[in-house]
């Protein structure tokens, strides 16, 4: 039998490696920025065009490379970070496998200019699909500039799997956040299609977080610091009242490298137990420093999933450290049965002595005497006549006792004006529905008993309502008496700008969308004025999370997010009129059987099923 096993050509092997290293433009951004940090850069610029599909350029002022190193850096498994297998267990750099540049060059056009401090001129290298097109001398500043153009130009199938420019830009922004957050001593600049997105100066960790996520983050952060023999923990957690329903501001860094660890995330959530709702997630920015030999960062190509030697001890230390910070900064309630706050001495009176009051009173004074006892005081007090007061009560004793309070109406018992839902006229037989466990609306039909899930049914009603308003642009807006100012981060503001037109069609009205500040002048009829900020926060989070896959349209994603946030919740009491309106509006929908999230909205229990229970 002939031999069938053969070695793959280098360009094929590089394309296979690129499938693991380069999943999307954000992967290229991560690798290039990490190489710039390893080069000792103090300033890094990231330039993006068309979501990274057309151009990804990273410019730094690091050590640079010689002519030979520039050429070797694009070879497979060529690296300056390790020299033996033992070095893999003591890694302090971000890149070490030597796959990144070779994989990127295999599926894109790469243009690199680099120069070291000892050279007068630098090296200009052009590579297309692993093939070196040209290598020349060039006048360039110290450092390295790598431009990656036309990503996946020779793999059309991979390029077709890329999402829209907005989705890819969002992934790139996430990677930029992860790299910039852990290196506050480096200047970072981020440009997209010619406009500046981020300009981050050198600062401390706290200010770097505030610069990225907006000034509203300043008063939300609680410091965390602990140092043990196993791990050194530093960073910040967000106060419990700012916990969100979606995952967003959760960041773990191990030895200055972003990691994902569901196990450690559970430790943080456990520390917040009793302080946040079960379906919410706390925000945190935690930096762990461990012995490099006690962590394995090479178990996944993206190097975001790691393995610790003693995870159980790390879990316990992290949980207790966060609990300590919550208590130390009076974020968590503390019971002290011996302390009486009424006995606290104000700070300004702490050093002052006790002074006897100098006020004197006449202990023998009697106001019911016509003349005061102490005549030397000179006062002419006399008891006033009560006849004028008595005249006010004349005739009250002759009124009919039966009419005293018969016409009094208690406000809470008066008829409720309006119902929870708007719509068609409600039928007279309100007793045909009832609410069970504040979760289901039960009614009767010809074939048996109808049980409706009130939350899912209302989601379906609102989804079709909002989807129609976005499409037809006939949303009704309720104008606010005074504009409401809300604060958002740059990334949240970018999402608002992206969906502003759809929000306007629904009923939102914006006076201005400036840097970190949004002025809202109108809202849809169903949004209460007190909940505008909460609704927009949830809307941005849901949109950011749900639209990331790019599988559905913007209008549909927005209608889903709004219906989820504004639908009646399980546990809310509905009067009979609202129950009947819910039933009628549900069966007026195009798809009443399923909620927007593909869950059953109602079920029918037939009379035969009920009869079987009594057999």
Topology annotation, domain 206-328: Ribosomal Protein S5; domain 2 (3.30.230)
Task: Profile the chain (615 residues) by mean pLDDT over runs of 10 residues.
Answer: 78 70 89 91 95 94 91 80 62 67 90 94 92 92 95 87 86 93 95 92 93 88 92 93 82 91 92 86 93 78 78 93 87 63 64 73 75 51 58 56 47 40 39 85 88 95 90 81 85 83 87 81 84 82 64 78 88 90 92 93 91 86
Give the model's pLDDT for residue 22: 85
- How far apart (Å, rounded) are the C-alpha atoms in residues 525 and 421? 11
- Helix 532-546 and helix 554-566, axial crossing angle in degrees, nearest 10: 140
Class of the 430-604 domain?
A: alpha beta
Task: Tell me the angle at which helices 490-506 and 165-181 cross, rounded to the nearest 10 degrees.
Answer: 150
Residue 333: what are its φ and ψ, rounded to 5°? -65, 140
The residue among 210, 219, 61 whose CA lies nearest residue 143 is 61
Distance CA 63, CA 363 (A): 90
Q: Are strands 43-49 and 55-60 parallel, antiparallel or unpaired?
A: antiparallel
Edge to edge, the sheet with strand 284-289 lists 221-227, 232-238, 284-289, 250-254, 258-259
pLDDT of residue 394: 61
The half-sphere exposure of 435 on its side-chain side, counting CA atoms within 13 A, is 18
Separation of alpha carbons 43 and 363, rounded Å: 81
How much of the chain is helix, strand and coil, in % rounded to 5? 40, 20, 40
State the CB neighbour count (10 A cutoff) for residue 70: 22
- 3-state SS, residue 57: strand
Domain boundaries, the chain: 10-202, 206-328, 430-604
Nearest to 238 by CA among 267, 279, 259, 269: 269
Q: Is the Cβ–Cβ distance between 267 and 318 less than 8 Å? A: yes
**Quick one: pLDDT at residue 405?**
45
The string of DSSP letters for 399-442 reads: S-GGGSSTT---GGGSPPPS-SS--SPPPS-GGGEEEETTTEEE
Q: What is the CATH number of domain 10-202?
A: 3.30.565.10
Report yes or no: 153 and 107 within 8 Å, Cβ to Cβ: yes
Return the SS3 of 118.
Answer: coil
CA atoms within 13 A on the CB side of 45: 15
Provide the 3-class DSSP secondary structure of residue 542. Answer: helix
Closest CA to 297 of 433, 140, 437, 95: 95
How far is it, in rounded angstroms, from Cα 46 to Cα 57?
A: 6
């Amino acid at each position: 039998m002939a031999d069938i096993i053969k070695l793959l050509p280098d360009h094929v092997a590089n394309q296979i490696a690129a499938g693991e290293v380069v999943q999307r433009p954000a992967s290229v951004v991560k690798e290039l920025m990490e190489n710039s940090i390893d080069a000792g850069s103090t300033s890094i610029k990231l330039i993006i065009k068309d979501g990274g599909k057309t151009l990804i350029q990273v410019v730094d002022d690091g050590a640079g490379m010689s002519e030979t190193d520039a050429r070797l850096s694009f070879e497979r498994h060529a690296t300056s970070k390790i020299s033996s297998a033992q070095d893999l267990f003591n890694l302090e750099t971000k890149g070490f496998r030597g796959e990144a540049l070779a994989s990127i060059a295999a599926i894109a056009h790469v243009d690199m200019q680099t120069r070291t401090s000892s050279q007068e001129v630098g090296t200009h290298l052009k590579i297309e699909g692993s093939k070196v097109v040209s290598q020349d001398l060039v006048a360039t500043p110290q450092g390295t500039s790598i431009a990656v153009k036309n990503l996946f130009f020779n793999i059309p199938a991979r390029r077709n799997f890329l999402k829209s420019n907005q989705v890819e830009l969002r992934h790139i922004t996430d990677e930029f956040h992860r790299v910039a957050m852990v290196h506050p001593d480096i200047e970072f600049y981020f440009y997209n299609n010619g406009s500046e997105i981020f300009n981050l100066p050198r600062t401390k960790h706290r200010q770097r977080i505030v610069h990225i996520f907006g000034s509203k983050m300043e008063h939300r952060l609680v410091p965390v610091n602990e140092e043990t023999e196993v791990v050194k923990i530093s960073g910040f957690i967000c106060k419990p009242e700012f916990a969100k329903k979606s995952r967003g501001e959760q960041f773990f860094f191990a030895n200055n490298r972003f990691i994902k660890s569901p196990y450690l995330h559970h430790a943080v959530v456990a520390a917040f137990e009793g302080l946040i709702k079960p379906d919410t997630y706390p925000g945190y920015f935690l930096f762990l420093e461990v012995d490099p030999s006690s962590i394995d960062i090479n178990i996944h190509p993206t190097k975001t999933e790691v393995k610790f030697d003693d995870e159980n001890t790390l879990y316990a230390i992290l949980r207790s450290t966060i609990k300590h910070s919550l208590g130390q900064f009076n974020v968590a309630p503390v019971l002290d049965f011996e302390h009486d706050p009424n006995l606290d001495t104000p700070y300004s009176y702490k050093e002052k002595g006790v002074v006897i009051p100098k006020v004197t009173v006449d202990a023998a004074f009697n106001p019911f005497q016509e003349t005061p006892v102490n005549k030397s005081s000179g006062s002419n007090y006399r008891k006033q006549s009560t006849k004028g007061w008595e005249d006010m009560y004349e005739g009250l004793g002759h009124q009919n006792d039966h009419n005293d309070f018969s016409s009094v109406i208690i406000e809470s018992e008066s008829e409720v004006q309006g119902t929870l839902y708007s719509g068609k006229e409600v039928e007279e037989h309100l007793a045909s529905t009832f609410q069970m466990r504040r979760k289901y609306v039960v009614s009767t039909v010809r074939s048996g008993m109808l049980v409706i899930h009130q939350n899912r049914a209302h989601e379906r009603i609102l989804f079709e309502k909002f989807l129609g308003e976005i499409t037809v642009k006939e949303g009704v807006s309720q104008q606010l008496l005074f504009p409401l100012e809300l604060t958002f981060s740059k990334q949240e503001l970018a999402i608002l700008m992206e969906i502003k037109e759809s929000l306007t069609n629904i009923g939102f009205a914006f006076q201005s969308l400036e840097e970190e500040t949004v002025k809202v002048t109108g809202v849809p009829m169903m949004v209460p004025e007190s909940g505008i900020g909460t609704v927009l926060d949830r809307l941005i989070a849901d949109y950011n999370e749900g639209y990331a896959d790019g599988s559905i349209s913007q209008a549909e994603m927005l209608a889903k997010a709004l219906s989820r946030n504004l639908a009646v919740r399980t546990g809310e009491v509905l009067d009979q009129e609202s129950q009947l309106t819910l039933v009628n509006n549900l069966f007026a929908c195009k798809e009443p059987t399923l909620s927007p999230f593909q869950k059953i909205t109602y079920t029918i229990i037939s009379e035969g099923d009920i009869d079987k229970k009594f057999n």
